[in-house]
Amino acid sequence: MIRRAAVLIAAAGLWLAPLPAAAHRGHGALSVVEINAKTGAVTVSHRIPAHDAEPALAVIAPDAQASLDDPEAIAVLKAYMLRQFCVAVDGKIVELTLTDLTLGADEVRFEYVGKIAPADATAMVGIKAAMFSDIYGDEVNQVNVRRFGVTRTLIFTGVEAVVGQYLDPIDPPKP
């Protein structure tokens, strides 16, 4: 009886073994926004899975090759990212400048910098994170916003990702 159960369990294990390889990977991105209260520097980084970015190029850059190796497609992707993601502090859009782009085998990383007045670091922060939500209906973008050593997380999902989310003004920590 025990031997028969062991054989059945082993057979089930062999039958189910290919499932993780065949599983669908979800669509999502991780972004981090850091606001330096002393300098007013705003840094933004995005980590996008290459398995999301590359197929999306067919929609984002239809006249280019849908490949992370195509400079024309990458130029369109850079412009797309700036349209689909924005940061506002105290109701003013923070102008972001791309400082680094890393095209890896597993992920694409974007690094941006911007500047606000240091006094505005305590003001309301607005974020729009709609990257790839117009392409993948199940897109989930997580944005971690750090200021004064505190991190708050915002989640943007599906077609609702185009709607901005806001973090209330905060009191600076007492020294």
18 contact partners, CB below 8 Å, separation of at least 6: none
Domain segments of the chain as ranges: 26-167
Q: Could you tell me the pTM of the whole model?
A: 0.84
User: Which of 31, 72, 79, 73 lies closest to 55 in space, CA to CA?
Assistant: 73
Residue 174 confidence class, pLDDT cut points 50, 70, 90:
confident
Q: What is the pLDDT of residues 98-138, one digit of tens each?
A: 999 999 999 999 999 999 999 999 999 999 999 999 999 89
113 contact partners, CB below 8 Å, separation of at least 6: 41, 42, 43, 44, 96, 97, 99
Distances (CA, A) of 91 to 73, 94, 97, 103, 125: 32, 9, 19, 33, 8
Higher pLDDT, 30 or 23: 30
Report residue 91: phi and psi, to 5°.
80, 0
* Contact present, 81 and 94 (Cβ < 8 Å): no
